[in-house]
C-alpha cells in the first residue's frame, strides 16, 4: 500500500515542474451540489444554442463514468495573463486567452507528458486528461480541490493570482490525498455584475450564457439577435470585462508561456485593418489560434455588427 500523502506530493511536484501554477486534488465521485444547478440552468435555456451542454448529463456530474474505477480528480491551473496589449485603442478587441496559440494544443501536450510521467512513477494506471473539451465540470472540481473559489461571474478565482487561468484535469484510478475547498472571498463586491453590458450575470453566481458577449461572438453561429446594439463595447471575439473589473485580478502576474505570446501583426492592427481582413489573412493570422473557432465568416459577422453599432 503506497503512502497517499507522498503520492499526492509527487503529483503536485510534477504539475509544477510542467509549468502549471496551481494543483489541487479531489476525491472522484458524484457532484451532488452541482446536479440541481446544472439541471435548472439547462431547463431555463441559459446555454442558448450550445446544445452540446445538454449531452452526457450524467457524465458531467460523475467522473467514474468517464474513467471506470476513477478515485481522484487532479485539478490544474495554467496562467495566460499577458503583458502584451492591443496597441490601437479603437481596434476590435479579442479576449486575452486568444492572443497566442490555442490553449487546447498547448495544454493537451503538457497533460500527455503529465500522464506518462505518472505511469512511470506509479505503474500502469488508468486515467484521462481533459482541457475544456469534454463533459467535465472543471470549475466545480477546481473549487473542490481548493485552488480557487467560483466568483459571482462564475469564473474560478485564486486569492494570489486572480482568474486569468486555463483549467485542466486528470481523472485517474489511483487514490490520492484530497484537498478541501477554500472560502468564497467575493464578499459584497458586485463589480462584475455592474460592469456586464448585456446583463448576462443575472444574479450572483448565475450567468445566463445566452446573453454573454463571449457566447454571441464565439458560440452563436446564427445572426446576433436584435436588442443588443451598442452593448458589445467593441469585443469581436470573447470578452474580458467581468475579469478586468474584478479586484482580485490586480494580483494577476504575467504568464511564462512562449506559445501564448501574440504576434506583433495582431497587436498592431487598427480598426480599418480588422474590417478589411480577407480570408487569406485570417487563416494566416489565426492559424494556430483559438480565434479559429469563430471561423472567418463568424468573425466578419462580428466585425460587421460592431461597425454597425459604433
Residue 260's closest CA among 128, 140, 47, 84?
84
Helix %, strand %, coil % of the chain (to 5): 40, 15, 45
Residues 107-133 have a mean pLDDT of 94
CA 62 to chain centre: 20
b/e map 232-244, b = 16+ CB within 10 Å: beebbbbbbbbbe
Residue 207's closest CA among 148, 156, 147?
156
CB 139 within 8 A of CB 109: no
On the CB side of 149, CA atoms within 13 Å amount to: 13
Active site residue 173: no
On the CB side of 223, CA atoms within 13 Å amount to: 5
- Sorted by where each begins, the domain ranges of the chain are 1-310
Residue 94's closest CA among 309, 308, 298?
298
- Alpha-helical runs (H) found in 33-174: 34-43, 57-61, 103-122, 138-145
Q: Residue 227: what pLDDT?
A: 86
Q: Is 204 left (phi over 0), alpha (psi -120 to 50) or beta?
A: beta
- Alpha-helical runs (H) found in 163-294: 191-195, 213-214, 241-244, 264-268, 271-275, 279-285
Residue 74's closest CA among 174, 170, 181?
170
Q: In the structure, what pLDDT confidence band is assigned to residue 196 with cuts at 50, 70 and 90? A: very high
CB 130 within 8 A of CB 168: yes
Residue 1 has pLDDT above 60, yes or no: no
Tell me how far apart the alpha carbons of residues 293 and 303 are, in angstroms, rounded to a whole number: 15
Angle at 116 between CA 5 and CA 140, to 5 degrees: 60
State which H helix or E strand residue 304 sits in. Answer: helix 295-309
State which H helix or E strand residue 97 sits in. Answer: none
Q: In the structure, what pLDDT confidence band is assigned to residue 22 with cuts at 50, 70 and 90? A: very high
| Residues 129-168 pLDDT 10s | 999 878 899 999 999 999 999 999 999 999 999 999 999 9
Which residues lie across from 172 on neighbouring strands?
Answer: 72, 127
3-state secondary structure of 75: strand
Catalytic residue among 13, 58, 116, 132, which? 132
| Residues 50-66 pLDDT 10s | 888 888 899 999 999 99
The mean of the pLDDT values for the chain is 95
Q: Residue 310: what pLDDT?
A: 54
Share of the chain above pLDDT 70, in %: 98
Amino acid at each position: 500500500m503506497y503512502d497517499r500523502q507522498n503520492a499526492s506530493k509527487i503529483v503536485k511536484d510534477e504539475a509544477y515542474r510542467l509549468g502549471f501554477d496551481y494543483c489541487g486534488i479531489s476525491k472522484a465521485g458524484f457532484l451532488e451540489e452541482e446536479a440541481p444547478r446544472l439541471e435548472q440552468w439547462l431547463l431555463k435555456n441559459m446555454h442558448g444554442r450550445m446544445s452540446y451542454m445538454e449531452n452526457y448529463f450524467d457524465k458531467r456530474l460523475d467522473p467514474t463514468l468517464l474513467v471506470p474505477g476513477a478515485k481522484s480528480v487532479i485539478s490544474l491551473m495554467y496562467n495566460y495573463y499577458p503583458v502584451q496589449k492591443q496597441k490601437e485603442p479603437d481596434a476590435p478587441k479579442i479576449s486575452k486567452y486568444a492572443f497566442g496559440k490555442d490553449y487546447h494544443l498547448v495544454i493537451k501536450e503538457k497533460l500527455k507528458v503529465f500522464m506518462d510521467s505518472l505511469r512511470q512513477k506509479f505503474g500502469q494506471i488508468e486515467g484521462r486528461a481533459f482541457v475544456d473539451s469534454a463533459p467535465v465540470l472543471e470549475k466545480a472540481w477546481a473549487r473542490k480541490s481548493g485552488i480557487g473559489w467560483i466568483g459571482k461571474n462564475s469564473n474560478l478565482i485564486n486569492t494570489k493570482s486572480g482568474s486569468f487561468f486555463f483549467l485542466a484535469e486528470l481523472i485517474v484510478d489511483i487514490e490520492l490525498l484530497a484537498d478541501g475547498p477554500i472560502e468564497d472571498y467575493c464578499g459584497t463586491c458586485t463589480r462584475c455584475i455592474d460592469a456586464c453590458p448585456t446583463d448576462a450575470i443575472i444574479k450572483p453566481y448565475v450567468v445566463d450564457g445566452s446573453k454573454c458577449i463571449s457566447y454571441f461572438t464565439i458560440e452563436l453561429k446564427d445572426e446576433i439577435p436584435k436588442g443588443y446594439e451598442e452593448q458589445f463595447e467593441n469585443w469581436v471575439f470573447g470578452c474580458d470585462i467581468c475579469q478586468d473589473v474584478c479586484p482580485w485580478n490586480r494580483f494577476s502576474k504575467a504568464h511564462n508561456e512562449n506559445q501564448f505570446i501574440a504576434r506583433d501583426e495582431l497587436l498592431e492592427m487598427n480598426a480599418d485593418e480588422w474590417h478589411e481582413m480577407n480570408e487569406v489573412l485570417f487563416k494566416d493570422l489565426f492559424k494556430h489560434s483559438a480565434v479559429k473557432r469563430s471561423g472567418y465568416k463568424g468573425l466578419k459577422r462580428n466585425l460587421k455588427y460592431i461597425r454597425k453599432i459604433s
